[in-house]
Every structure is written in structure tokens, then in C-alpha cells.
Structure 1
Amino acid sequence: MDVQMRLYWESYSEDFTTDDLIRTLHNPLRDYESDFVDGAIVDIGCGQTTFLFEYINSGRKLIGIDNDQYQLDSLKNRINSLAHEGVNIELYNLTLLRNSLPKETYSVVFLANILHFFNLQQCNKILGQVKENLAIGSFVYVWTHSDKYYMNNPGNSENNEYFKHYFTLADLDSLFIPLGFKRLMHSEKERLFSEKEMQTQKKWLEKYLDHLEIFDKQERASIIKENWKNNPEADIMCIYKLP
């Protein structure tokens, strides 16, 4: 994680408690929990996940995977703050496509805010790795930026420098269905940030300007004005099952 993103997550951790994250969680897999097969619940690219908090009392093995130790340490602190005893959770510092995934039977896999960091060819390889650990009846929940995301500008030669792909439903189906998955749910959403989220972003900008040693008030105000904008985020979410 670069300094800019580290400062963002520091600001985020300061402003959003674990209770805040649990309270605002939207998990459409709740509709299918009675159909979960035996196996672990896995969050790939977990960050400071709320999805694993959802199942902390389920008695299932929980697995969190991320390639940044700061996020994993923050997640561990959040879990410890919940004061649950006997939670069976394992956290792995792994980089997708570079490292192998833990060998387990995965009942549920969350791929939230991760696939847009890869192109379609890379996503296909990632799903191939995931499928090796699935059983008949396993679920995969994917949540990624859609082609309506405000940063998506196909006419810009640098459009896919940071986010490698912006997804359509056809893109996701082209990845999952050839591997034998059935789509159970599809949803798209667009939202603006809350006032609290916007204040966190402003705190982040202030921290980053401090890091860059930009202390001139006029220059700081100009940079914040240019970058502190509430742009609508557009995402696509799907649930797939291996029948």
C-alpha cells in the first residue's frame, strides 16, 4: 500500500468504529444462508472487512486474505475489540496471482472491491484459483466498479492505469458462467458519500498534504477544492453459485 492509501485508511479507522461498519453492512447473501454448504467463509481482498464480522458467531472457519499487513493488523484489532472467544479465524498476507490460496473447502467467497484492480484475463485466472477450493453448492459474491463509475473514461489513454477494468453484467457472466456457475442475483447501485464520509476524505487530504510538506494555506485550499468532490460511485453486485 502506498503512502496515500495508507493515510486514507488511517483516517478511515479513526472515524469509523467496528460497530459503524457492522451497522451499515449490506449483505445480500443473508437470503441464502440456509443453503450454505460445509466449509469456510472467505473474504479475498478483505481489508477491514465487515463481511467476516457478519459470521463471527456462526461457528464456521473464517479466512481473510489481503496483501497489506496494515489492513490485516487493523482487522485483527477490530475482531479483538468485539471480545468474542473461540472465533476460528485465519488471516493471510497473500498477493493474488502471485501466491496460492489456502487449501480449504470454501462455502462462501466474498470478492468485494477487488476485481476492478485486475483485467479480465487476470480475473479469469483468479476465479480458476478460487474454484479449486469450492464444492458443489458454494457461493461467490462479487462487488466491483461498473462501467458507469465516475472515473471510467474509455477515451482517456490512462483510463485503466489504476482500476484495470470497469464491469458490465456481461463481463461478470463471461467470467463465471463458463466455469459452471449459475447467477442467483444481480444488482447495480449508484450512491453519493455521506457527510461523515466526506469529512473523512477531507481529513485524508489534509494528512496527505502534510506528508507532501505543502503548508501554504492558499495552495492547500486550492488542492482540496480541486480534489474534495462527492462524485457518485457506481457498482455492480452479483451472487453466483456452483450448482
Structure 2
Amino acid sequence: MASEVAARRDAKKLVRSPSGLRMVPEHRAFGSPFGLEEPQWVPDKECSRCMQCDAKFDFLTRKHHCRRCGKCFCDKCCSQKVALRRMCFVDPVRQCARCALVSHKEAEFYDKQLRVLLSGAPFLVTFGNAEKPEAVVCRLSSNQRFLLLDGDSHHEIEVAHISTVQLLTEGFAPGGANTRATGMSLQYSVPGVEGLSQLRLMAGEDDSRRQSTAWLVAMHKAAKLLYESRDQ
């Protein structure tokens, strides 16, 4: 029964929008927390010039809408077709130069960091004010909606309910070349529970440390996408 419910939640459908074909969750509430909604296009009647180079649109200079920002550009300023996975497009779509650059950077997350998060890594986790940490394997669920922590017990944290993510490092300067990720602190809300809950993940000192460090860095990048999607 539980597997049937999970299958329905992960079900997807193919839809066509003015921007192209999209493979989206059958139920909108079960979409990835990293996803972005399609923008409203600037109406043609409100756009007589390119919003980048100010070229006037006419029979030869045609207008195009960027699928990421919805603004209006000439072909020169909006000629790139780039994958836009955060909006679930099946094929690469037309984007302006600025948006194309952002989408290219995000592609690295989907091609590399997301795989690391889905594979998981071992940590010592401390929930709230607990005295003793628990050994767990932490990974992102296949639908990207939950952090799953499996050890002596099983815990699930809904990614959309994570409010803050702080990367813990050691070295000479935060973010410097001589620092390394050692752990992560997360604050999150739990439905029906007042206030924020907190946990801390710490990488061990064994042979799995490199795997754990890569997972922490990937999760930190995922958090940036999460915050960006909330600002849309």
C-alpha cells in the first residue's frame, strides 16, 4: 500500500506550454523543492524593443521570449538553447545570455552534486540537544523532497521545510582554499510542532570522510537553489 502511494506521488505527466514540452509531477504538491515556475511572458504589445540591446523589432528583427525570465529579446540577445531542468523542460529551450549562464551553472548541480546527494554518505547526527550522536547514512530521496536518515532508527526531513543550512568547516578562513567541510547544521520545521528543530551532521574520520565531505558540499549548493526557488 505504501509503495502504491509513493508511486502515485512520483507519477509524472507530459504537458505542453508556450515555452515547450515539460515533464512535470502529476500532482503539483509533489514537485521538487528545487523547481521553478514558468515566468509570465512580457506581453508582445508592451515590448517594441529588445530588453537587452534596445534594438527595435520589425519584420527582420523578430522578438523572442526567454523561457527562464520571460523578458523579450532579439535573436542576437536570445539565441542560446540551454537545458532548464528546474522547470522540467524535456528539451533545451531558448534563453537570454544572462539566464543561459545561470542555467549552465545549475546543470553542474544536476549532473554531479545531485547524484552525490542521492547516493548518500555516512555521518554522526545529533538531533536537538541529544547527548549522544547517532550513526546514520543521509541521502536525498529519489523525488528530491526528503532527506532520509537511516541508522538504528529512520528519520525523514522534508526539504521544503528546511529554513537554514550552515556548513561547518575547519581551516584558515571560511571558504578559503585551505578549508574543508567537516559537518553541517540544519534548522527545519516539523508540521504540528511549534518552533524550529535542529540537527547537526558530522563527518567521521574514517575512509568514508571524502564521501561525506562531497555530500556536505553538494547539500550546501542544493540549499542555495532551495532559497532561490523560494524567492521566485
TM bucket, shorter chain: under 0.3
Q: Relative contact order: is structure 1 or structure 2 higher (C-alpha 8 Å, sep ≥ 6)?
A: 1
State the structure with more CA Rg. Answer: 2
**Structure 1 or 2: larger helix share?**
1
User: TM-score, with normalisation over the residues of structure 2?
Assistant: 0.26
**Structure 1 or 2: larger strand share?**
2
User: TM-score, with normalisation over the residues of structure 1?
Assistant: 0.25
